[in-house]
Amino acid sequence: MSFFEDLRARIDAVDSVVSVGLDPDPERLPGFVDSELPRWSFNRRIIDATHEHAACYKPNAAFYEDPDGWRALEETVAYADGKGVPVVLDAKRGDIGNTARQYAKALDTVDAVTVNPYMGRDTLEPFLSRSEKGIFVLCRTSNPGGSDFQNLQVGNDKRLYEYVAQRCAEWNDHDNLGLVVGATAPEELERLRELVGLPFLVPGVGSQGGDAEAAVEFGLADGVGLVNSSRGIIFAGEGTIDENAYFGAVGDAAKRLKTRLNEYR
C-alpha cells in the first residue's frame, strides 16, 4: 500500500483528519514524566490519550536532536506504529544528492517526511523515489515570515508558492507527494486547491489560530489530507491537578479538534 492509501484507510477507521504534533518541548513537560527519557515517557502517554482521534502523529525533528532525543523518537515511532497510526517526521529537510539519500534513510522507520523545496528537484528525488512513503513539500507556511519569499511574484501571474505547488504536481510520478500549506492564510489555501489536486498537510489550526473550516474545505484532496495541531493538543493539560487530569485534557483536546473539523468534512 502507498502512504496516501494507508492514510485514507486510517482516516476512515478513526473518522478523523487530525494530525497530532509531537513537539515535547523540554521546558513544558509536566513534572510527573519519568526522568529516564522524559520525551518518550511523555509521548507514550500522549499517544495513549489521543490515538483514537489521530489520523497521524507528526513529531518535529527539532525536539529530538540529541542522543537521548533520537532514542525517544525511535521508541515513539515504534509505539505509534504498534497502535496502527502513521507517523510523519516533520524534518523539513533538503540537501544535495548523497546527503539527501542519507536523510532519506530516516524514512525507513517513519511513513512520511516533510521536505524543503528551496534546493530544487534533485534534493527531493531520494524521497520521491520511495514510492511507498509519503513526502510533504513546504509550500505556503503558516508563520509570519512565510510571505517574505513564498509570496514573491514570479513571472506574470504567479506567486512563488503557487509555482512550487505546480512544479511539485509535475514531479509527483509516484502519487506520494503532498504539500504543507498553513491554515493562517485561508485564501491562499483556496487558491492552491484550485491549482493542484495534491493532499495538503495543514498546520496552524491550534496555537497559531488558523481557520479550521478552510483547512478542511481546501486541505483535503478527495477526502485525504491532514490538519495538524501540536501545542494545542499535547499541552492541553497544563494547569490541571494531576497526571490523569492532564492526559484526560489532552485526549479531550484531540477529540474536540476532530469533532470541529468533522463539521466541515
Question: Where does this chain bind a second copy (CB under 8 A)?
Answer: 23, 25, 60-63, 65-71, 74, 92-100, 102-103, 106, 116-124, 138, 141-150, 152-155, 160, 163-164, 167, 231
Contacts of 142 (CB under 8 A, 6+ apart): 182, 183, 184, 185, 203, 204, 208, 210
With residue 148 as reference, give the H or E element that holds it: helix 146-150
CB of 56 to a second copy, least distance (A): 18
CB of 167 to a second copy, least distance (A): 7
DSSP letter assigned to residue 90: E
With residue 91 as reference, give the H or E element that holds it: strand 88-93
User: CB pairs under 8 A, 24+ apart, for 35-38?
Assistant: 37/68, 37/71, 37/72, 37/75, 38/72
Cβ-based burial of 71 (10 A; exposed 0-12, middle 13-18, buried ≥19): middle
Q: What residues are annotated to the active site?
A: 92
Give Cα 200 distance to the centre of its chain.
Answer: 9
CB of 72 to a second copy, least distance (A): 10
CB of 53 to a second copy, least distance (A): 23
| Cβ atoms of 195 and 188 closer than 8 Å | no
C-alpha grid cell for residue 189? 489555501
Q: How many CA within 13 A on the CB side of residue 204?
A: 24
Is 69 or 178 the residue whose CB approaches a second copy more closely? 69
Is 78 or 152 the residue whose CB approaches a second copy more closely? 152
CB of 74 to a second copy, least distance (A): 8
C-alpha grid cell for residue 253? 483536546
| Cβ atoms of 57 and 22 closer than 8 Å | yes
Is 68 or 173 the residue whose CB approaches a second copy more closely? 68
Is 50 or 184 the residue whose CB approaches a second copy more closely? 184
Is 146 or 178 the residue whose CB approaches a second copy more closely? 146
